[in-house]
């Protein structure tokens, strides 16, 4: 396996993810050791499983970290999809859409937040017709709102649009 084949996810990323696993595992072990249960019977308390899982995660992180530093992770796929340049603008737009929806949904309501989410994601995927996207967004979010609240008994905020209910 040639680690420097173009377009392949960077070894730095692999090493970083491996390190993340080691640290997360250590954190889980530490948190597990903090759990003090009165009814700990022969050491079989609520702290045992976190200890095992955290150690396992750290161990796998170490193995993957070793792989990353010695030629890269094994058997990584090498096809057309792994040779694409990243489109971080699309990534940013979609992140913005999701986070904006999170802020808006409780306040402006499900329909407005979802319509905005829809139009922004479509934009992130390269749509150049925001008007059409918004119309489709409303054609989806308005019926969905009524089906889920009236039909399936889910509680969704109406927000700025109140329906005289």
Partner 1 sequence: MDTFTALMSGFAVALSVQNLLLGALGVTLGTAIGVLPGVGPALTIALLLPATANFEPTGALILFAGIYYGAMYGGSTTSILLNTPGESATIITAMEGNLMAKRGRAGPALATAAIGSFVAGTLATIMLTIAAPAMVEVALKFGPAEYFAVMVLAFVTVSAVLGNSPARGLASLFFGLTLGLIGLDSQSGQPRLTLGIPELLDGIDIVIVAVGLFAVGETLYVATYLNRIADKIESVKGSVWMSKSDWARSWKPWLRGTAIGFPFGAMPAGGSEIPTFLSYAAEKKLTKHPEEFGKGAIEGVAGPEAANNAAAAGMLVPLLTLGLPTGATAAIMLSAFQQYGLQPGPLLFASEPQLVWGLIASLYVGNVLLLILNLPMVGLWVKLLSIPRPLLYAGILVFATLGAYGLRNSWFDLALLYGIGLVGFAMRRYDIPVAPTIVGLILGPLAETQMRRALAISQGDATVFLTQPISASVLAITAAVLIVPRLLKRRRLPEPTLLPTDAPWK
Q: Which of residues 58-77 bind partner 1 (CB under 8 A)?
A: 60-61, 63-64, 67, 73-77
The contacts of residue 85 (CB under 8 Å, 6+ apart) are 7
- Which residue from 24, 26, 138, 142 is in contact with partner 1, where contact means CB under 8 A? 24
Residues 135-164 that bind partner 1 (CB under 8 A): 136-137, 140-141, 144, 148, 152-157
For residues 138 and 135, give the distance between their C-alpha atoms in angstroms, rounded to a whole number. Answer: 5
What distances in angstroms separate CA 12 from CA 7, 38, 57, 78, 132, one per listed residue?
13, 44, 20, 18, 42
Backbone angles phi, psi at 41, to 5 degrees: -105, 115
Distance of closest approach, residue 164 Cβ to partner 1, in angstroms: 21
| DSSP 8-class letter at 44 | B
Q: Going residue by residue from 96 to 135, which x/- string records binding to partner 1, judged by CB under 8 A?
A: -xxx-xxx-xx---x---x--xxx-xxxxxxx-----x--
CB of 162 to partner 1, least distance (A): 17
């Amino acid at each position: 396996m040639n680690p420097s084949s173009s377009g392949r996810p960077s070894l730095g990323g692999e090493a970083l993810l491996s390190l993340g696993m080691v640290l997360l595992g250590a954190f889980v072990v530490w948190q597990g050791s903090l759990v003090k249960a009165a009814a700990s019977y022969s050491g079989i308390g609520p702290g045992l499983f976190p200890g095992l899982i955290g150690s396992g995660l750290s161990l796998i992180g170490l193995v993957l970290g070793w792989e990353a530093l010695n030629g890269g992770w094994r058997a990584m796929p090498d096809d057309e999809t792994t040779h694409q340049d990243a489109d971080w603008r699309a990534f940013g737009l979609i992140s913005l859409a999701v986070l904006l929806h999170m802020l808006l949904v409780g306040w402006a309501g499900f329909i407005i937040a979802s319509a905005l989410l829809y139009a922004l994601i479509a934009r992130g995927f390269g749509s150049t017709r925001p008007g059409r996207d918004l119309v489709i967004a409303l054609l989806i979010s308005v019926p969905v709102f009524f089906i889920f609240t009236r039909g399936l008994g889910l509680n969704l905020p109406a927000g700025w649009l109140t329906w005289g209910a």
